[in-house]
Amino acid sequence: MDASGVKPINMVLKTGTTIKGPGKIIGVYDTSGVDLAINNEIAIGVSAGDSSRDADGALETAAGATVAVYPLGGVLMVQSKAGDSYNPGTLVYVDASGLATTTSTSRKLLGVYVGPAGVTGAALVANGVGDSGASEGTMIAVMTAGAATA
């Protein structure tokens, strides 16, 4: 459960999509499933962990793969884009690759930062479970009750 007591729900991923770790912002691309949110997209939730894996432990990419998602509405831990700084009350927006940002241009509101003062997103790092590149950001606390719905 997250800080708000919300339980994650399983959602089908768009074919070819993998989610590496908790805290990734999830959005809807089309009727085939959910995907990592991108700029100017409405967020629907935040990943609770990696997406589903096959019998060999590899992240699944075939149709029917799933990810556990915390629906928006409470305080959720979200991965931040590198270099963005947060203080209590900072507005947080949806950025590319399912990351949070303080940049508002062409982005939808995710919520309000409610963590400690003076936090800056560190450089992205590999998640250590088959990640071929730096994709993991600093986790920040965001009150998502005010997320954009249009």
Q: Say whether 140 sits in a helix, a strand or coil.
A: strand
User: Which has the higher per-residue pLDDT, 36 or 146?
Assistant: 36
pLDDT attached to residue 57: 86
Q: Are strands 9-12 and 43-47 parallel, antiparallel or unpaired?
A: unpaired
Q: How many CA atoms lie within 13 A of 21 on its CB side?
A: 23
Residues of the chain with pLDDT > 70, as a percent, come to 92
What is the number of domains present in the chain? 1
- Which two structure tokens, joined as six digits, stand for 83? 């270099």
Q: What is the mean pLDDT of residues 100-128?
A: 91
Question: Is 1 part of any domain?
Answer: no
Please indicate, yes or no, if residue 23 is contained in any of the structural domains. Answer: yes
CB atoms within 10 A of CB 33: 19
Say which CATH number the domain at 64 has: 2.40.300
The whole-angstrom separation of Cα 50 and Cα 85 is 26
Does a structural domain hold residue 4? no
* Residue 130 main-chain phi, psi, to 5 deg: 85, 10
Does 2 map to a domain?
A: no
Does residue 111 belong to any structural domain of this protein?
Answer: yes
Is position 20 within any domain? yes
Structural domain boundaries, residue 124: 9-146
Model pTM score: 0.89
Q: What is the tens place of the pLDDT at every residue in 4-35?
A: 567 899 999 999 998 988 999 999 767 889 99
Q: Is residue 106 part of a domain?
A: yes
Distance (Å, rounded) from C-alpha 92 to C-alpha 57? 34
Which tens digits make up the pLDDT trace of 90-108? Answer: 999 999 999 999 999 999 9
SS3 31: coil
